[in-house]
Amino acid sequence: MADIRVLIADDSILFSRFLKSVVDSAEGFTVCACSANAYEARDEIEKLKPDMLILDIEMPKLNGIAFLRQLIPQYTVPVIICSSRKDLIMQAMQAGAADFLAKPEEGGYEEFKAKLKKSLVAASKIKRVKSGCKFYAVRKSASAADTNAAHELRRIIAIGGSAGSTEALPEILQFFDKNTPPVGVVLHMPEGYTSLYAKRMNAKFPDLEIVEATQGLYLKNGMVVIAQGDKHMRLFRDARGYFVTCEDGPKVSGHCPSVDVFFESAAFCAEKDAIGVILTGMGKDGARGLSQMHHAGAYTIGQSEKSSAVYGMPKAAFELGAVDKQCDLERIGFHIKEYLSRQGGK
């Protein structure tokens, strides 16, 4: 039987080397890579498909618990948290950790080695992982077909808006067709209205598949997914492609669903393959998320002041330096289509 392949994510090079020596000495386990932060770990996961992770909490760019919450729904493997932050044990376990090991203090390295080897064996037997309130089955190796499908579906368009955005969205959708990359949309609409809105848009644009988001829905070209009016929508990607989750939660940036929540998830799992669009609306929701998309390499668009019903959200994003291109509303859809054509669509 092949060894269980372990990825280590810790910003301490010396401690990563120590962990590697322990794992490699454990029968049936081998380290496939070491990463210095969560973003490096994500890239290694996509390339190497490890069977297990050892994860630090205090890392630059994104801490281990936040990374774990993002990871488990889209790539479910046992994760052992190894950290000096004993005060965060409960948060780590609630996020989906299989075990929590405190980093050894001086003189405690032999005891730590024994604990880690025992934890590796126990974690390798886990079949399900609980993250938040949901259980996820531990993944099996992706088939070649699933892997190829994931590579074919790279581009994603993320749109967010508030006041005036329900009227603005159709002005963009008229430029899209069945070959357009999947579109995720978060608009500030009340519970119950989003389903009706999606049906109305679907009737208006029959070449597109416009639906209200449902838990675990996989996206495809020509699909437009509207976030439910009372749930946060997040974007994830696995071997099959992009999918969304719909979750209850407190308001973020004053709203549920929150544009920030969706944009931040798109920044994490799509990076440069995403296009972010922030539309007319009051307040600042979406500005921080669009900034994260921008810094992750996504192409970002803000609706212009003169074409906005309320120049609040696009203004906040522009002032953060999160907008690559400001466009009048009637030009946004055409500009996206033109940009995709130049980039090859994927």
**Torsion over CA: 32, 38, 40, 46 (sign):** positive
Query: What stretch of H or E contains 29?
Result: strand 29-35
Domain boundaries, the chain: 4-141, 148-343
Count Cβ neighbours within 10 Å for each residue of 155-165 and write b for 16 or more, e otherwise: bbbbbbbbbbb
Q: Collapsing DSSP states into helix, strand and coil, what is residue 69?
A: helix
Overall CATH class of domain 148-343: alpha beta
pLDDT confidence bin for 238, thresholds 50/70/90: confident
Euclidean distance between CA atoms 89 and 14, whole angstroms: 23
Euclidean distance between CA atoms 177 and 175, whole angstroms: 7
Q: Are 44 and 7 in contact (CB under 8 A)?
A: yes
Overall CATH class of domain 4-141: alpha beta
pLDDT at 43 over 90: no
Give residue 8's identity as a one-letter amino acid code: I
pLDDT (0 to 100) of residue 143:
40
Euclidean distance between CA atoms 72 and 244, whole angstroms: 13
pLDDT confidence bin for 141, thresholds 50/70/90: low
Euclidean distance between CA atoms 183 and 337, whole angstroms: 13
Euclidean distance between CA atoms 71 and 134, whole angstroms: 13
* Angle in degrees, CA 286, 265, 54, rounded to 5: 145
**Helix 287-295, helix 259-270: angle, nearest 10:** 10
pLDDT (0 to 100) of residue 241:
84
Omega before residue 257 within 30° of 0, cis: yes
Euclidean distance between CA atoms 168 and 190, whole angstroms: 17
pLDDT confidence bin for 105, thresholds 50/70/90: confident
Mean pLDDT of the region 159-167? 96
Express each pLDDT in 118-137 by its tens digit: 999 999 999 999 998 899 99
pLDDT (0 to 100) of residue 165:
96
pLDDT at 50 over 80: yes
pLDDT (0 to 100) of residue 102:
95
Which residues have a catalytic role annotated? 162, 188, 285
Q: Comparing 53-57, 189-193, 225-229, which segment has the lowest mean pLDDT?
A: 189-193
pLDDT confidence bin for 342, thresholds 50/70/90: confident
Tell me whether domains 4-141 and 148-343 share a fold. yes
DSSP-assigned beta bridge partners for residue 318: none
Query: What stretch of H or E contains 217?
Result: strand 217-218
Measuring CA to CA, how many Å separate 105 from each of 55, 108, 264? 18, 5, 36
**Torsion over CA: 230, 234, 235, 238 (sign):** negative
What's the chain's length in residues? 346
